Amino acid sequence: MAFGDIATAGLRTFLDTDRFADELCVFIHIPKTAGSSLSTELERLRPPYINIHRRYFYGDTVTFSRIEDEIASVVDSGALAQANACSGHFSWNQAAPIRAVRPDARPFTFLRDPVKRIISDYRYSRTPTHPTYKETIARFPTIESYVAAPETQDKMARFLMPGDIVTPSQIDAFISANYAFVGLLEMYPLSFNILSRLLGDNVMPSEHKRKTEATSDNEVAETPELRALIADHNQRDKALYDIVRRKLVAIRDEWRDLRQAEARGSRAA
């Protein structure tokens, strides 16, 4: 089974048949989707864990390594052979070497409302926590200029699937067949708990990291006009988000019933 079966088969069947407690779980970490918190949880739940990340070099300008080279380095080191989990800001295509060396790899990810995610991404990129924040401020003086830049558009879809997957039906088919699970930040307790069950546990989230600091450089007024502008420039992301949300809403009541039944069992014991 795969993620697409969660709504058609029902949650309990999905949890019974799609568990991947012994496989390599690969977290494709889309920026500003609570992934830093989730990565910390993953390190706790599934050691040995590898965080694959670009390295930054500071001089007159900030330069950084390519994520493809960092993935190749991890693959060549042989570290993935013993790993139970890995994560990073890499795309489906960039993760191909991981899937090649570990055919048992089970990718998963979390999404966020596209408007909220882009605003958060823009705000974070303008804080000193981001290594190239000065360049970002200079290049994108307003959030409208940031939204208009092609490299900021449909980032969730570009992380999760090839570029020729564009229509809602294609998007649904791809994530349904290729991902073990897709969660939502807006449904984080449900999403995290389902993921933990798939990993062979049953816990609720405890970590929350990297809340973006407020500065004079990253203030954003979320107006109806801005929301419409972002939605217009991110239609693949909106379709992707809506598809996943429908699947999780379809099993939300079943998840609540399952949690309540477990709580009653614990009290009875």
- Mean pLDDT value of segment 193-205: 94
Please give the pLDDT value at position 133. 81
SS3 58: strand
SS3 56: strand
Please give the pLDDT value at position 209. 58
- Mean pLDDT value of segment 165-192: 97
pTM given for the model: 0.93
Please give the pLDDT value at position 237. 98
pLDDT tens for residues 106-128? Answer: 999 999 999 999 999 999 888 88
Distance CA 242, CA 146 (A): 23
List, in order, residues 6 or more apart from 183 with CB less than 8 Å away.
Answer: 108, 109, 110, 111, 190, 191, 192, 194, 195, 244, 248
* Residue 143's pLDDT band (cuts 50, 70, 90): very high
- Mean pLDDT value of segment 92-104: 98
Please give the pLDDT value at position 21. 84
pLDDT of residue 67 exceeding 80, the answer is: yes
* Residue 92's pLDDT band (cuts 50, 70, 90): very high
Distance CA 236, CA 252 (A): 24
Please give the pLDDT value at position 207. 62
Please give the pLDDT value at position 218. 77
Please give the pLDDT value at position 71. 98
Q: What is the mean pLDDT of the chain?
A: 92
Please give the pLDDT value at position 61. 79
pLDDT tens for residues 205-250? Answer: 986 555 777 776 778 889 999 999 999 999 999 999 999 999 999 9
Please give the pLDDT value at position 75. 98
